[in-house]
């Protein structure tokens, strides 16, 4: 599959995707016609051409890149924290049923609180720093990671642990590291993937509500205040595309690299 970089392969790929590409082009045309001929109001609905020029203007000003960088920092803080906290707690709860019984009620009480409800405390605790937005993202991302790690560890087949014991893998630490964790990895990774999606949504909201002075979500709001709706659409599309790219990295890179043993299995 790696050698599909030949011209024939590329042609084939374009052929495979052309219905999708066509749909995008048709949508753009429909959007354009609708905005130009029916709405005829750039504030209510900017057309694709307006959006494109707004994009160029924003790019020239250099705002987009710095917004992107700031948002990525927020996201990295939130997701990094969620991985650091969520995976170990998920492992402990999934491996040890007494810890499960102990921690489960707290998790179940905290989990349904919408991450955005933490915004006031994010501001009080961390002020207008990247950590503040990161914290809101963390609250959104940590539970999918924790729950999926937990579920993955619960589902580790006993036969793997026993086979490991027969082969000298008797210490708990080794059993987690060499058997339970790799066995649970598909579930852990799908948890992280869900967490990136949730985290990305929290990012926009966290920045929107003034937790940050910069970032994609913040400036989306800023341009709304200026009534520059074409710029708002630029930010909307960017946010969507970046979210898509993050998800694609997961689908194609992470899963291909760490879960390649699952090809051929009915997963």
Residue recorded with tokens 């967490």: 195
Pick the piece of the chain touching other proteins (CB under 8 A) from 55-63, 72-80, 176-184, 191-199. Answer: 176-184
Q: How many residues does the chain have?
A: 267
In the set 65, 113, 167, 254, which binds other proteins (CB under 8 A)?
Answer: 167
At 261, give phi and psi (nearest 5°).
Answer: -65, -15
Q: What span, in angstroms and rounded, lies between the C-alpha atoms of 25 and 31?
A: 10
- Could you say whether residue 166 binds other proteins (CB under 8 A)? yes
| Closest among 116, 120, 104 to 78, alpha carbons compared | 116
Tokens representing residue 223 in the block: 């341009």
Q: What span, in angstroms and rounded, lies between the C-alpha atoms of 224 and 217?
A: 11
- Could you say whether residue 169 binds other proteins (CB under 8 A)? yes
* Cβ proximity of 252 and 240 under 8 Å: no
- Could you say whether residue 73 binds other proteins (CB under 8 A)? no
In the set 15, 159, 226, 257, which binds other proteins (CB under 8 A)?
Answer: 159
- Could you say whether residue 262 binds other proteins (CB under 8 A)? yes
Give the residue with the Cβ less far from other proteins, 100 or 174: 174
In the set 34, 43, 125, 261, which binds other proteins (CB under 8 A)?
Answer: 261
* Cβ proximity of 129 and 207 under 8 Å: no
Q: What span, in angstroms and rounded, lies between the C-alpha atoms of 67 and 140?
A: 21
| Closest among 250, 249, 141 to 199, alpha carbons compared | 141
The distance of closest approach from Cβ of residue 259 to other proteins in the complex, given in angstroms and rounded to an integer, is: 8
The distance of closest approach from Cβ of residue 164 to other proteins in the complex, given in angstroms and rounded to an integer, is: 7
The distance of closest approach from Cβ of residue 87 to other proteins in the complex, given in angstroms and rounded to an integer, is: 17
- Could you say whether residue 183 binds other proteins (CB under 8 A)? yes
- Could you say whether residue 93 binds other proteins (CB under 8 A)? no
Residue 170 DSSP label: -
The distance of closest approach from Cβ of residue 165 to other proteins in the complex, given in angstroms and rounded to an integer, is: 5
Give the residue with the Cβ less far from other proteins, 116 or 259: 259
Give the residue with the Cβ less far from other proteins, 184 or 206: 184
* Cβ proximity of 217 and 44 under 8 Å: no
- Could you say whether residue 4 binds other proteins (CB under 8 A)? no
Residues at the contact surface with other proteins, assessed by CB under 8 A: 159-160, 162-170, 174, 178-179, 182-183, 185, 260-265
């Amino acid at each position: 599959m790696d050698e599909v970089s030949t011209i024939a392969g590329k042609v084939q790929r374009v052929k495979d995707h052309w219905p999708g590409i066509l749909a995008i082009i048709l949508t753009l045309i429909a959007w354009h016609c609708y905005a130009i001929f029916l709405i005829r109001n750039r504030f209510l609905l900017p057309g694709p051409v307006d959006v494109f020029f707004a994009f160029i203007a924003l790019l020239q000003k250099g705002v987009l890149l710095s917004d992107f960088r700031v948002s990525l920092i927020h996201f990295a803080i939130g997701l990094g924290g969620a991985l650091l906290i969520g995976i170990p707690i998920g492992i402990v709860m999934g491996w040890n049923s007494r810890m499960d019984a102990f921690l489960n009620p707290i998790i179940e009480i905290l989990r349904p609180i919408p991450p955005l409800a933490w915004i006031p405390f994010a501001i009080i605790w961390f002020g207008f720093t990247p950590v503040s937005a990161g914290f809101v993202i963390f609250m959104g991302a940590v539970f999918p990671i924790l729950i999926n790690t937990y579920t993955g560890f619960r589902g580790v087949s006993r036969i793997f642990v026993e086979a490991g014991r027969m082969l000298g893998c008797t210490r708990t630490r080794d059993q987690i590291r060499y058997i339970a964790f790799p066995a649970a990895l598909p579930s852990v990774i799908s948890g992280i993937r869900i967490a990136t999606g949730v985290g990305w949504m929290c990012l926009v909201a966290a920045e929107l509500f003034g937790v940050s002075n910069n970032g994609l979500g913040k400036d989306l709001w800023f341009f709304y205040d200026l009534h520059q709706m074409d710029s708002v659409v630029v930010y909307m599309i960017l946010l969507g595309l970046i979210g898509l790219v993050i998800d694609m990295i997961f689908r194609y890179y992470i899963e291909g690299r760490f879960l390649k043993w699952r090809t051929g299995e009915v997963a």
